[in-house]
Amino acid sequence: MNEKSLETDDRKPAGFFSRMLAFLLDIFLLLFLELMIGVVIFLVLHFFRYKQILDFVKSVLGVEDEFAQFIGLISPVLFLVVLIYFVFFWTLVGYTPGKALLGLQIVRQDGRPLSVGRALLRYLGYWVSAIPLFLGFIWVLIDRQHEGWHDKLANTHVIYILSKQSKLKE
């Protein structure tokens, strides 16, 4: 067991409200990021006269609205951005910026940090939790271990790391 797992062994699982707030913060951050990326893509496409590309998208998607066409065009990129955002932060430090602000960390059941495969599985779990009217997320509130469906799927849990900080402060 490495140092990190020793540090997090005795941590309490994070509750629903903290996790929801952290998730909302991440969504805001992602929205900003996606907007920036969208603008950059738009500028690049505009430079290369993207009308032809949009016509192609139109023929594939059957959408008339130009904005919708553009969104349809860049949605795979945005999906990738979101995926990379979560997987990158979860595997690198164990928390996204939103979770870091609220003092939360995602670890495996044995306290170890997440691998890339497990992080990808957890992200897939997000969709599983979201599809049945977000029941998988609400499950955090009901479950005694405060685990959502995505946690159960990836065998992870979210813990508070604020106790460590308060100890350090003392």
Which listed residue (80, 109, 116, 132) binds other proteins by CB under 8 A? 109
For 4-39, give the DSSP string: HHHHHTTPPBP-HHHHHHHHHHHHHHHHHHHHHHHH
Binding mask 22-51 for other proteins (x = CB under 8 A): ------------------------------
How many CB atoms are located within 10 Å of the residue 70 CB?
A: 19
Which residue from 70, 73, 96, 111 is in contact with other proteins, where contact means CB under 8 A?
A: 111
The rounded distance, in Å, linking the Cα atoms of 162 and 166 is 6
State yes or no: residue 167 binds other proteins (CB under 8 A).
no
Task: Indicate the residue among 75 and 145 with the shorter CB distance to other proteins.
Answer: 145
Is residue 82 at the binding interface for other proteins, with CB under 8 A as the rule? no
Closest CA to 33 of 91, 74, 70: 74
Residue ranges of alpha helices (H) inside 48-142 are 51-61, 66-92, 97-101, 116-130, 135-142
Stretch that binds other proteins, among 8-16, 56-64, 80-88, 114-122 (CB under 8 A): 8-16
- Interface residue with other proteins, options 74, 107, 153, 154 (CB under 8 A): 107
Tokens of 64: 């008339």
| Residue among 58 and 108 whose Cβ is closer to other proteins | 108
What is the three-class DSSP state of 64? coil
In angstroms, what CA-CA distances link 18 with 113, 143, 158? 20, 15, 10
Q: Binding to other proteins (CB under 8 A): which residues in 127-166?
A: 141-142, 144-145, 157, 159-160, 162, 165-166
Residue 12 near other proteins by CB under 8 A: yes
The yes or no reply on residue 102 touching other proteins (CB under 8 A) is yes
